């Protein structure tokens, strides 16, 4: 019977390994299917491009800005000739649906400060996302630049706009992942070598972490063919794969080494490890998965993508640790200790016993003075957590885009030209209930009033609509080009587009507030037409919708995570107090990590260490909601490890005073090793170029540090001591024996 069980285990492990190896090639290309554009389900800003595409058939639904420097003035004959050459090549490029420059639209908007100008290029991709056109435009841009340099040595062409910025963010994200892996993997391997003293034992968790990342990315790549998934999947899969995958394998390997030291039989030891550590991993992965599943309820592509990535990583890490690792360990047997390093191995001979004795003595100090322990550890954490009340989730100030990217350099050039508003424009759609804008005086006058009302706002650099282009003469609309007509007026004539270019001095946060003001004021007041409606799109409007949804959903996500985790812990421990205590301690860890985030990034204390020149004044809205979901699940690992061992000791007949130090002796070493790996992995992501990932990596690293030290090693045991037998109510120690055993499996 035992042999049959082992055969089944090896077959299952073989199937899992075959599936992972089959997925492996697809993981290298997963990023091609991931998006950098933010999609918000049902948002007003998201409906504007849809209307421009369907009701207007505008050639500029998606557009890029070609910034030009070093040519003669565009209002000179020589400058016009050079610009005509550029326009001709652009119009001939596949995927380009429209081109507008000073040649087509004799407007001062194209004459920025200095000698520069720009060309607005509409895109329409029939093969894949519009971002796929960016590399081809870069090739054309370089070709044009090389040809023009023979006559104009100082010419410089650069692409910017929402689409090129998204494209360059994708590249920065991929570079950050590679950089973080370069830092994290050697450091993690070094920590595992210190923990195990054996090269073979240390390599297994690292390999499992890499396989978990590859599997999750490959599956995400397939899902992205059907659903919109963000490029953040790549960062989060790597971050969590290195953390969870390695930690879960670490737990299994540690438990196996303990078992084989007693059994001397690889098969039996692997069964013990899989039975005891496997149950712990199931509870741990369940709490992690709950947090990520809660993120799927937020109708924002980035947040949902992180939820999907986290769920995939937790699932693949659990599957690999519970199937492939036990089979590999059974095959290795005592060879798990092969490759022992002489210095570390000799040190390791007596280290485990000495470490356990130290933690046991520490546990005795805690149970002897529980109130003092809670005060000394809790007071600074509460003080740090109080700073979380200052958390500001507006758009961070400063230049947080990847500075080396061409699109960012071109955006800065537009800022110097005082024309950056072309990238951050508000795209306002005004719809009248009945009057045709181009065919009736009433409709024309309504659009004119609306346009002038917007133009009178000091935050507007320029407002462009049919009335501003054609002037007061409605009949001149017929003289406008077909491109202009389709851009600014719908086919039924009742809906018009108004482009509002904000002044360069107006920050993105001010633009967001402006969007909210306009929406609150409404089209009736602005146009003077009863029944008129407006919709606002563009980057500021999308940002406003993003912030509103995240803030509105934050409480519901917290509730889902807390309730779901409580149910999972109740099912595992059969104890109301143990579950409630774990929830309360997790909330303390999360709040304290948010407080640290405020102090460092928002207020700037020590932020230069992370490559940020000054405080950002606010935090990206996505960071708190995602960090909460991740931290709540990760922190629960250590609670499960500790409480399970204390429960096991109590069932063996120990008193509470004896069981708590014993539980610490058996789990504290594992907790500190696992936490050290998590901290190294998360900290590696704080040294990239992607500010949102810096903030997230910092928050997670601090949360794990706080949780694995002050919370689980001091406050948690002290609360167990104060609760006494209430720790195990209502199940109780006697009836709890029939409940599923949850062993820490260190």
Range 572-581 average pLDDT: 80
* Same topology between domain 1-33+197-340 and domain 351-390+553-746: yes
Which pLDDT score, from 0 to 100, does residue 370 have?
92
The pLDDT score that the predictor gives to residue 379 is 94
Give the per-residue pLDDT at 341.
Answer: 65
What does the pLDDT read at residue 350?
58
- Average pLDDT score, the chain: 83
CA quadruple 145, 147, 153, 156: dihedral, nearest 10: -10
CATH fold for domain 59-165: Alpha-Beta Plaits (3.30.70)
What number of other Cβ atoms are within 10 A of residue 113's Cβ?
Answer: 11
Alpha carbon 319 to its chain centroid, in Å, reads 24
492 burial class (0-12, 13-18, 19+ CB within 10 angstroms)? exposed
> Which residues, other chains included, contact 515 with Cβ-Cβ below 8 Å and sequence gap of 6+?
426, 536, 540, 541, 544
Q: Phi then psi for 20, rounded to 5 degrees?
A: -65, -45
Nearest-angstrom CA–CA distance, 318 and 306: 18
Mean pLDDT of 625-638: 80
Q: Which has the higher per-residue pLDDT, 473 or 241?
A: 241
> Which range among 152-156, 207-211, 353-357, 666-670 shows the weakest confidence by mean pLDDT?
353-357
Q: What is the mean pLDDT of residues 260-265?
A: 72
For the segment 187-192, the average pLDDT, to the nearest whole number, is 84
Residues near 142 by beta carbon (within 8 Å), at least 6 away in sequence = 157
Give the pLDDT of residue 535: 93
The top-scoring range by mean pLDDT among 302-306, 601-605, 683-687 is 601-605
- The contacts found for 93-97 with CB under 8 angstroms, 24 or more apart, are 93/136, 93/137, 93/140, 94/136, 95/123, 95/124, 95/125, 95/126, 95/133, 95/136, 96/121, 96/122, 96/123, 96/124, 97/59, 97/60, 97/122, 97/123, 97/124
- Pick the more confident residue, 523 or 127: 523
Between 685 and 597, the more confident residue is: 597
Looking at the domain 1-33+197-340, which fold is it?
Multidrug efflux transporter AcrB transmembrane fold (1.20.1640)
Q: For residues 350-362, give the mean pLDDT.
A: 77
Model pLDDT, residue 233: 81
Taking the domains of the chain in order of start, what are their residue ranges? 1-33+197-340, 59-165, 351-390+553-746, 425-537
Work out the widest C-alpha separation in the chain, in whole angstroms: 96
pLDDT value of residue 333: 82
Decide if pLDDT at 346 tops 60.
Answer: no
Q: Kindly state the average pLDDT of the residues 517-523.
A: 92
Share of the chain above pLDDT 90, in %: 19
46 or 401, which is more confident?
Answer: 46
Question: Which residue did the predictor score with more confidence, 153 or 356?
Answer: 153
Q: Which two tokens stand for residue 235?
A: 């960062």
* pLDDT at residue 3 tops 60: no
pLDDT for res 732: 63
The answer to whether 337 and 201 have CB atoms below 8 angstroms apart is yes
Fold type of domain 351-390+553-746? Multidrug efflux transporter AcrB transmembrane fold (1.20.1640)
Between these two residues, 176 and 491, which has the higher pLDDT value? 491
Is the omega angle on the peptide bond into residue 714 within 30 degrees of 0, that is, cis? Answer: no
pLDDT at 22 > cutoff 80:
yes
**pLDDT confidence of residue 121:** 93
Range 425-537 has CATH code 2.30.30: no
Strand, helix or coil for residue 355: helix
The count of other CB atoms within 10 Å of the CB of residue 337 is 19
14-18: long-range contacts (C-beta < 8 A, 24 or more apart)? Answer: 14/327, 16/319, 16/320, 16/323, 16/324, 17/324
Question: Among the listed ranges 219-228, 507-516, 592-601, 735-744, which one has the minimum average pLDDT value?
Answer: 735-744
Confidence (pLDDT) at 734: 56
> Residue 275: what pLDDT?
79
Token output for 206: 């690292």
Dist CA 160 CA 165 (whole Å): 6
Q: Which residue has the tokens 């890490």?
A: 317
- Residue 743 is predicted with a pLDDT of 37
Please give the model's pTM, rounded to 2 decimal places.
0.84
Confidence (pLDDT) at 72: 87
Q: Which residues face 462 on adjacent strands?
A: 501
Bigger pLDDT: 370 vs 356: 370
For residue range 104-152, what is the model confidence (pLDDT) as tens digits?
888 888 887 777 899 999 998 777 678 888 889 999 999 999 999 888 8
The 3-class secondary structure across 714-729, one letter per residue, is HHHHHHHHHHHHHHHC
Half-sphere exposure of 459 (CA within 13 A, CB side): 19
How many whole angstroms separate alpha carbon 334 and alpha carbon 326?
13
User: Rounded to the nearest 10 degrees, how much is the dihedral formed by the CA atoms of 245, 248, 251, 252?
Assistant: -90
Question: CA-to-CA distance for 15 and 474, rounded, in angstroms?
Answer: 72
DSSP secondary-structure letter at 395?
P
């Amino acid at each position: 019977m035992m042999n049959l069980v082992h055969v089944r285990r090896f077959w299952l492990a073989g199937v899992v390994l075959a599936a992972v190896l089959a997925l492996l090639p697809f993981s290298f290309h997963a990023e091609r299917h991931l998006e950098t554009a933010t999609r918000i389900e049902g948002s007003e800003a998201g409906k504007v491009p849809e209307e421009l595409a369907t009701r207007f058939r505008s050639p500029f639904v998606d557009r890029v800005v070609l910034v030009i420097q070093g040519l003669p003035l565009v209002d000179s004959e020589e400058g016009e000739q050079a610009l005509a050459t550029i326009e001709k090549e652009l119009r001939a490029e596949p995927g380009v649906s429209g081109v507008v420059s000073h040649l087509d639209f004799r407007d001062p908007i194209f004459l920025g400060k200095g000698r520069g100008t720009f060309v607005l290029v509409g895109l329409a991709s029939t093969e894949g996302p519009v971002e796929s056109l960016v590399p081809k435009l870069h090739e054309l841009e370089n070709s044009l630049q090389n040809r023009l340099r023979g006559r104009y040595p100082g010419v410089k062409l650069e692409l910017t706009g929402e689409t090129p910025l998204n494209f360059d963010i994708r590249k920065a994200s991929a570079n950050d992942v590679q950089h973080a892996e370069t830092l994290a993997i050697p450091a993690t391997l070094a920590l595992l070598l210190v923990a195990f003293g054996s090269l073979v034992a240390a390599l297994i968790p690292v390999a499992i972490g890499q396989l978990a990342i590859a599997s999750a990315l490959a599956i995400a790549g397939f899902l992205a063919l059907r659903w919109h998934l963000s490029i953040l999947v790549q960062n989060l899969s790597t971050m969590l794969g290195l953390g969870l995958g390695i930690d879960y394998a670490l737990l299994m390997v540690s438990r196996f080494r303990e078992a084989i030291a007693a059994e001397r039989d690889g098969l039996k030891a692997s069964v013990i490890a899989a039975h005891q550590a496997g149950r712990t991993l199931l509870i741990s992965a369940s709490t992690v998965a709950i947090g990520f599943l809660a993120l799927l309820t937020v109708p924002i592509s980035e947040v949902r993508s992180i939820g999907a990535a986290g769920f995939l990583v937790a699932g693949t890490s659990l599957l690999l640790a519970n199937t492939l690792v036990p089979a590999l360990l059974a095959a290795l047997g005592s060879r798990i200790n092969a490759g022992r390093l002489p210095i570390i191995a000799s040190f390791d001979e007596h280290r485990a016993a000495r470490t356990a004795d130290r933690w046991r003595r520490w546990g005795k100090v805690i149970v002897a003075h529980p109130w003092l322990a809670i005060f000394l550890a809790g007071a600074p954490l509460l003080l740090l957590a109080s700073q979380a009340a200052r958390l500001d989730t507006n758009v961070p100030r400063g230049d947080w885009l990847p500075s080396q990217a061409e699109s960012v350099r071109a955006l800065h050039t537009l800022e110097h030209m005082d024309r950056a508003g072309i990238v951050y424009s508000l795209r306002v759609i005004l719809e009248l209930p009945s009057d045709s804008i181009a065919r009736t005086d009433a409709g024309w006058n309504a659009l004119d009033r609306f346009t002038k009302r917007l133009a009178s706002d000091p935050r507007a650099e320029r407002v462009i609509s049919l009335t501003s282009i054609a002037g007061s003469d409605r009949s001149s609309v017929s003289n406008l080009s077909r491109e202009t007509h389709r851009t600014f007026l719908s086919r039924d004539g009742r809906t018009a587009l108004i482009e509002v270019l904000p002044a360069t001095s107006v920050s993105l946060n001010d633009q967001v507030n402006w969007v909210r003001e306009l929406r609150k004021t409404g089209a009736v007041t602005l146009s003077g037409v009863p029944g008129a409606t407006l919709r606002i799109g563009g980057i500021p409007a999308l940002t406003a919708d993003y912030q509103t949804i995240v803030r509105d959903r934050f409480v519901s996500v917290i509730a889902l995570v807390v309730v779901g985790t409580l149910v999972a812990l109740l099912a595992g421990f059969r104890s109301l107090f143990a579950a409630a205590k774990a929830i309360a301690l997790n909330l303390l860890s999360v709040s304290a990590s948010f407080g640290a985030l405020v102090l460092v990034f928002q207020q700037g204390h020590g932020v230069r260490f992370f490559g940020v020149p000054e405080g950002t004044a606010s935090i990206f809205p996505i960071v708190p909601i995602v960090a909460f979901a991740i931290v709540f699940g990760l922190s629960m690992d250590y609670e499960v490890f500790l409480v399970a061992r204390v429960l096991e000791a109590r069932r063996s007949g120990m008193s509470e005073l004896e069981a708590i130090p014993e539980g610490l002796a058996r789990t504290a070493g594992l907790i500190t090793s696992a936490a050290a790996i998590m901290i190294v992995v998360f900290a590696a992501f704080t040294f990239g170029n992607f500010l949102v990932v810096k903030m997230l990596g910092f928050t997670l690293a601090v949360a794990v540090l706080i949780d694995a030290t002050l919370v689980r090693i001091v406050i948690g045991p002290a609360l167990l001591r104060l609760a006494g037998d209430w720790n195990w109510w209502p199940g109780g120690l006697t009836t709890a024996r029939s409940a599923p055993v949850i062993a820490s499996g260190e």
